[in-house]
Structure 1
Amino acid sequence: MNRKSLWIFIGWVTIAVLMIGCKDRSPGNPVETKVGVDKAEGILSDDTSGSAIDSPQYPEATTVIIAIGDSITYGQGASGGGYPSMLQEKLLAAGYTVVVLNAGIRGERAYSTHERWLQEIADADIALLMIGINDLLNPGHCHEPYDCHTAEYIEAMINEALISKKIPLVSTVTPAKTTDVRAWVNPYIRSLNARIESLATQYNIPLVDNYQAIRDNGGDALYSDHVHFSDTGYNIIAQQWFDAIVNGKLIETARE
């Protein structure tokens, strides 16, 4: 074979190898994602590996509850901790092994809560959500001014919690003090609360009616300012969450 023929032969071999290497490969079947929450009634999911409940920072079998919301969750006006710390005290006194984390941020709106939602609930078992008052008081400051989509963000957070196998509880928005200049917002609060109640029914999750609880247990006497509460007011809110958790058998007491 002369040199020219040799180079032609090598060229054809190279082309053949490249064609084999570039042969079309059909993609494999995509992984099927199963969406749903498999929880027996009154029993938390056993899928706690790597979560806060599985962390050495808490005693074994600790139920981690996180309260998420704005300054009302934060506890503005309270002498210390607001309703989350009061709720923890009530649950511990009743014999439950729990920790209640306070993830309230003053001035927060629903879109900001949604942005941090998945990160906040990642290591929790139960998520308590109360949000919306700032959207209604200052709609011009929403992510989309005067189009806050509050109920839509709440629905998204409920759905994401369920997909993440957390137990979400949602609260109605508490009223403004009726003798304050901001009392104009109360009809809008009631309208939003009707949508929140509908979402709780739609997703079959516990609804905690803190709006009505404030109205029925002292009303304006419970406030430290126009929308925030005294310790007495926050204690009423804590009791509503406590009743929903205990009566719903969402956690088990060590004394059982």
Structure 2
Amino acid sequence: MGLTWLAIGDSITFGTGSSTFDKSYIMLTRTELLKNSKKHELVNSAVSGQRSDTLINLHKARGGKCDADLITIMAGTNDAGQDISTSVYKTNLGLLVDEVKKNSVIGQCKIVLLTVPWRGDKDIPSYNAIVQQVAAEKNLPVCDIYPAFNSNADLTDGVHPNDSGHSKIANILAPFLNGLDVWNNTRRR
């Protein structure tokens, strides 16, 4: 039996914009990890439209407990889209991480923050500076997916990556996750 990877996020993590779920960054990353003998079960808990604050509430509403070895969190696209201030975003992202940590069943669970991907209509670098700050404060690794693309050519609607955009995110995320020490965890259920 492999490990469990829990993906927390919004519509991009859900796979919106890709032509099929198999072409979403989550599934492309999963396929690449499996090629590298990184056996795991994927639980995608992403819900479209979620902001950092609503992800906290959603996590609590689902009972909170996380029986996962690896948890990735991508939050901020909708915060930026709805002009949530970076100070409020920082508070919310920190609370989300705290909630996930508090409810992690596995003591050696690895939590990874993902930066917010490019969208042409918002100042995403300021949100990504917050991701980096929260990660430093919480001693978490950050996978910087922001450089994956920087034009609407990789988006379906100005927000959601198309197949090319999802592929570019996976091309950054898969090697990052592949290099984590979580794969050496010998815990078994």
Q: TM-score range by the shorter chain?
A: 0.7 to 0.9
Map Cα deviations across residues 102-133 of structure 1 (whole Å, 9 max, x no partner).
22211111111011235466122211111112
8 Å Cα contact 1:64-1:101 kept in structure 2: yes
1:102 aligns to what? 44
8 Å Cα contact 2:10-2:50 kept in structure 1: yes
Distance 1:213 1:202, change over 3 A: same
SS in 2 for 1:122: coil
1:70 aligns to what? 10
The answer to whether residue 161 in structure 2 is matched with residue 229 in structure 1 is yes
Distance 1:152 1:236, change over 3 A: same
Tell which deviates more after alignment, 64-73 or 98-107: 98-107
1:116 aligns to what? 58
8 Å Cα contact 1:161-1:167 kept in structure 2: no
How many angstroms apart in 2 are the aligned matches of 1:200 and 1:120?
Answer: 21
Deviation at 1:137, TM superposition (A): 1.5
What aligned pairs does 1:1-256 form with structure 2 within 5 A after superposition?
Answer: 60=1, 62-81=2-21, 82-117=24-59, 119=63, 122-139=66-83, 149-163=88-102, 164=104, 165=107, 166-176=109-119, 178=120, 183=121, 185=122, 187=123, 189-215=124-150, 219-252=151-184
Taking structure 1 as the reference length, what is the TM-score of the superposition?
0.63
8 Å Cα contact 1:83-1:238 kept in structure 2: yes
Deviation at 1:209, TM superposition (A): 0.8
8 Å Cα contact 2:3-2:41 kept in structure 1: yes
Q: Number of aligned pairs?
A: 178
Gaps of 5+ in 2: none
RMSD in angstroms over aligned alpha carbons?
2.4
Taking structure 2 as the reference length, what is the TM-score of the superposition?
0.83
How many angstroms apart in 1 are the aligned matches of 2:144 and 2:65?
Answer: 22
Higher RCO (CA < 8 A, seq sep 6+) = 2
How many angstroms apart in 2 are the aligned matches of 1:162 and 1:138?
Answer: 27
SS in 1 for 2:111: strand
How many angstroms apart in 2 are the aligned matches of 1:244 and 1:158?
Answer: 19
Task: Report which of the two structures shows the higher radius of gyration computed on alpha carbons.
Answer: 1
Counterpart amino acid of residue 161 in structure 1: V
Gaps of 5+ in 1: 1-59
How many angstroms apart in 1 are the aligned matches of 2:116 and 2:86?
Answer: 18
Map Cα deviations across residues 226-248 of structure 1 (whole Å, 9 max, x no partner).
11111121122123222222222
Q: Which runs of 4+ in 1 moved over 6 A?
A: none
Deviation at 1:147, TM superposition (A): 8.8
Counterpart amino acid of residue 226 in structure 1: G
